[in-house]
Amino acid sequence: MSSAMQFYVSTLLVYAGVYIIAAWGLNLQFGLTGILSFAYILFQSIGAYLAAVFSLGPPASRADVETYAFGANLPFPLPILVAAAGGALLAAVLGPIVLRRLRSDLQAITMLVMSLIATDVISSDQSLLNGATGLSLVPAPLSTVLGLSSLQYQWFFVGMVAVICAIVYFVMNRITSSPLGRALRTVRESERSAAAIGKNVFALRMRAFIVGGAIAAVSGALLVLFIGSWAPGSWLYIETFVLFAAVIIGGSGNNLGVAIGALVVPVGSVEAVQYLPSFGPPGMIDALQWVVIGLLLLLFIWFRPTGLLPERRRYFPVSDLRNGRQAASEADR
Amino acid sequence: MDLFMAGLGFGLIAASIMALAAVGFTLQLGVADIFNFSFGAVMTASALAGYEANAAGLNVWLCLPVGAAFGAALSVCLNRAILTPFMHRGAGLFGMVIVTLGLAIVIQNLILAIWGPVYFTYQVDNSSTVRWAGMILTTSQIALAACSAAIMVVLHLLLTKTKLGKAMRATAANADLARTSGIRTSRVNDTVWALSGALCGLGGVAFVINTVSFQAATGTDYLILVVAAAVLGGAGQPYGAMIGALIVGVASEVSATVISPDYKDVVALVILIGVLLVRPRGLMASVDLVQAGGEETIA
C-alpha cells in the first residue's frame, strides 16, 4: 500500500471505531432501554471537550491561541477517563430532568431542544470553550513519547481505538446478555410490566442512560485526540440523527447489527465520501449524501424496521420458568 | 425604555408572523396527532415557491397566496403518500418523529442539492418607516401583521361558526368519539392538512418577506420557535398557539434588544423546555399529552 492509501485507510478505521463506540452507547440507551436520547450528541461532545482541555493544559498557557475556562495537562489515559466520568455525570444530571413520563415524542423534543440550547450557549460564550471557533491544536496522546513517524502513529492510534472498541464491546455484551439486559428490555417493551414485577423503572433507565453517556463521551474523547479540534459545528443535532439512523438501520438492540449500521451510515456515507472525487457544484455531494441517509432511514423503517441484523428473539419456555431463575437465565443466553 | 419599546414592536411583528405557522403546526399536532418535524422544510419549500414566483415578476404580496397554495398541496401529498401510510404501518409517536425528521432532512437537502448553497432574496418594494410610541416599523411589516390578524379572524370564524370547524375541533378532542358521532374523520384529516399546509406556506413566505432573504435550512431553524409557541399554547389549541406566538415572539425580540441578540433563540428554547417540564399540557390544552410511556412500538 502506498503511504497516501495507508493514511486514508487508517483514518477511516479510526472513524469507524469511534462511530461504532458511539453507536453502541446509543444502542444501550435507545436500542436496549428505549430512551429517546435526542440529546445524545451532547455526551459525545462533553467527552471531546473534556479530553481536549485536559490535554491542552492550563488556560493561561494557551492564552495567545484560544480561551477556555479550565484545563490541565494530564498524562495520557487520564483525559479519556475524565471524559468518561464527565459523560456519566452529564447523564446523571440530565436524567432526572428528562426521563419523566412525558409523551415520547415530546420527550425526544425536550432533549433535542437541550441539544440546541447547548449549541447556542457554547457558540455564543467565547470564554467558556472558545465559542464558535472551538478548540484546536489538541496534542496527540503519547506522540512525543513514542517518537513514531506520522504514518506509524496513525496505525498506533488505530490499535488504541481497536483495544477500546474491544473493551466497550465486552461491556456491552455483558450488559445485554445479563439479567440487567433482560430487565432493560422489559422496561423498553412495557414500562408497566417491568414495574409490576418489581423493577425500579427509573433506576434502570438511569443506569442505561449513565453508562451510555460515558461510552459516548469516550468516543468523543478518541475523536478529538485524533483530529485535534472540536467546535460547535462538530456536534449539531443532526449528528444525533446520524447515529439514530445507524442504530435503526443496523438493528436496534443488536450490538453487532449496530456496529454494521455505524459502518454503513456515518462511515460509509459521510466519512468515506469526503475522499471521493467531487462532481457538480460545491456542496452538492454533501446535500445528496444527507438525502441518501434520510431516504435510507425511511426505507428501513418501512421495509425492515428491525434493521439489517435484527435483535435476537428470546424465548422463555414455561417449564423453564417454573424451574426457577437459573433455567430462565440460561434460556436467555 | 426606548430599547424595550423598539423590541416590543419587533416582537409583535414576529409574533403575528409566528402565529400563522404555530396555528398550522398545532392543528397537525392536535388533529392528526403527528409531531411534524418536516413542517419547517415545507415552510422553506413554500418560501422557495414564492421566490420563484417573485423572480418571475409577481408582486411580492401575491407570493403569499402562491406560498399558501404550494404549502397546502405539498402537505396533503406528504400526508397521503408518506405520513399516514407510516402511521398505519404502526410507527409509534416516536417513530413518527424519526420519520418526519428524516423527511425534513431529505426535503431540505434536495433544495440544497438543486438550488445550491445560496441565499434567496425577495424583491420587496421600498417601504417607508413608521414611528409610533417608540416602535420603529416599516409599512410592509405593518401590512404583514394586518394580513396575519385578518387570517386569524377568518380562522376563528371557520373554527367556531362552520360545521367543518366544529368537526375539526371534535376530531382533535377525540377522534374515535368524533367518528362514532358520524364525522368523516378521514375527510376532516385531509382538510386539516390542507389548511395547516396553507398556514405553513403563508408563515414561510411572510417570514421571508420580513427577513428578506433565506436559505435551505431557514425553515427548520425557525421551526423550533414555532414549536415553542405551539407547545406553550397547548398542543392542538389554535387560540393557545396564537397566545404562545405572542409570548415567544415578544420575549425573544425584547431579550434580543435588551440582553443580547446571541441569546434570542435561547430565550425561546428555555421557554419551551420550561413548558415541557413544568406544564406539558401548555396554557390551554385539553388534549392529554401526558401519558404513561413505554407501551408504544418503536419505529
* Cβ pair B164, B192 in contact under 8 A: no
| Contact indicator for A153, A140 with CB cutoff of 8 Å | yes
Question: Domain-by-domain residue ranges, chain B?
Answer: 15-123+153-246
pLDDT of res. A64: 78
Mean pLDDT of A162-168: 96
The whole-chain average pLDDT of chain B stands at 85
Distance from CA of A190 to the nearest CA of B (A): 5
pLDDT confidence of residue A220: 96
Buried b / exposed e over A268-290, threshold 16 CB at 10 Å, is bbbbbeeeeeeeeeebbbbbbbb
Q: pLDDT at residue A300 above 90?
A: yes
pLDDT computed for residue A324 by the predictor: 54
Angle at A90 between CA A85 and CA A96, to 5 degrees: 130
The residue ranking higher by pLDDT, B147 or A144, is B147
Interface touch A120/B299, C-beta < 8 Å: no
Q: Inter-chain contact A283–B91, Cβ cutoff 8 Å? A: no
Q: Per-residue pLDDT for A134 more than 50?
A: yes
pLDDT at A254: 92
Selected for mutation to probe chain A from B269, B291, B296 (highest A CB count within 10 Å) is: B269
pLDDT tens sequence across A61-84: 887 788 888 888 888 889 999 999
Q: Is the pLDDT of residue B288 over 50?
A: no
Contacts of A284 in chain B (CB under 8 A): 112-113, 116
DSSP string, B178-195: HHHTT--HHHHHHHHHHH
**Is B159 or B286 the better-scoring residue by pLDDT?**
B159
C-beta separation of B236 from B27 below 8 A: yes
Question: Predicted confidence band at B293 (pLDDT cuts at 50, 70, 90)?
Answer: very low
How is residue A198 written as a grid cell?
418489581
Compute the nearest-CA separation of A161 from chain B (Å): 30
E strand spans, B30-187: 120-121, 129-132, 135-138
How far does A231 lie from chain B, in Å, by closest CA? 17
Q: Phi and psi for B36 in degrees, rounded to 5?
A: -90, 100
Distance (Å, rounded) from C-alpha A24 to C-alpha A26? 5
Task: Work out the burial of residue B156: count CB atoms within 10 Å of its CB; fewer than 13 is exposed, 13-18 middle, 19 or more buried.
Answer: middle
For residue A321, the model assigns a pLDDT of 56
Q: Whole-angstrom Cα distance, residue A136 to residue A155? A: 22
Chain B residue closest to A31 (CA)? B298
pLDDT of residue A93: 94
User: What torsion, rounded to 10 degrees, do the Cα atoms A138, A144, A149, A152 define?
Assistant: -80
Cβ atoms within 10 Å of B152's Cβ, excluding its own? 18
Higher pLDDT, B124 or A102: B124
pLDDT at A320: 58
What whole-number distance in Å separates Cα of residue A316 and Cα of residue A329?
A: 9
Best A40, A100, A105 residue to mutate vs chain B (most B CBs within 10 Å): A105
Phi and psi at residue A147, to the nearest 5°: 65, 40
- Tell if the CB–CB gap between B102 and A294 is shorter than 8 Å: yes
DSSP track, A144-182: HHH---HHHHHHHHHHHHHHHHHHHHHHHHHHHHSHHHH
Closest-CA distance of chain A to residue B93, Å: 6
Distance from CA of B126 to the nearest CA of A (A): 33
Interface of B with A in 231-270 (CB under 8 A): 231, 260, 262-263, 265-266, 269-270
The pLDDT score that the predictor gives to residue A270 is 65
Does B298 contact A252 at a Cβ distance shorter than 8 Å?
yes
Q: Which helix (H) or strand (E) holds B278?
A: helix B264-278
Encoded amino acid at B170, one letter: A
Mean pLDDT of B176-182: 89
Break chain A into its structural domains and give their ranges: 3-234
pLDDT over threshold 50, residue B294: no
C-alpha–C-alpha distance, residues A33 and A21, integer Å: 17
- The answer, for B217 touching chain A at a CB cutoff of 8 Å, is no
ipTM of the modeled complex: 0.85
**What integer is the mean pLDDT of B59-70?**
92
pLDDT score of A51 more than 80? yes
Q: Where are the alpha helices (DSSP H) in chain A?
A: 3-26, 40-56, 77-98, 104-124, 126-129, 143-146, 150-177, 179-189, 191-196, 201-227, 237-250, 255-262, 284-303, 318-322, 325-332
pLDDT at A319 (0 to 100): 61
How high is the pLDDT of residue B64? Answer: 92
pLDDT beyond 80 at B18: yes
Closest CB from B93, B109, B117 relative to A103: B93
Contacts made by residues A150-155, CB under 8 angstroms, sequence distance 24+: A151/A3, A151/A6, A151/A7, A151/A10, A154/A6, A154/A7, A154/A10, A154/A11, A154/A14, A155/A6, A155/A10
Inspect the interface and report whether the beta carbons of A302 and B89 lie closer than 8 Å: yes
Q: Using the beta-carbon criterion (under 8 Å), do B272 and A188 form an inter-chain contact? A: no
Q: Would you call A294 and B94 a contact, using CB atoms and an 8 Å cutoff?
A: no
Q: What is the rounded average pLDDT of the residues B275-292?
A: 60
CA distance B265 to chain A (A): 8
Q: Which residue has the higher pLDDT, A252 or A325?
A: A252
Which range has the worst mean pLDDT, A328-332, B14-18, B240-244, B261-265? Answer: A328-332
Average pLDDT over every residue of B231-245:
86
Cβ–Cβ below 8 Å for B93 and A189: no
What confidence category does residue A191 fall into, taking pLDDT thresholds of 50, 70 and 90?
confident
**Cα–Cα distance measured from residue A320 to residue A325, given in angstroms and rounded to the nearest whole number:** 8
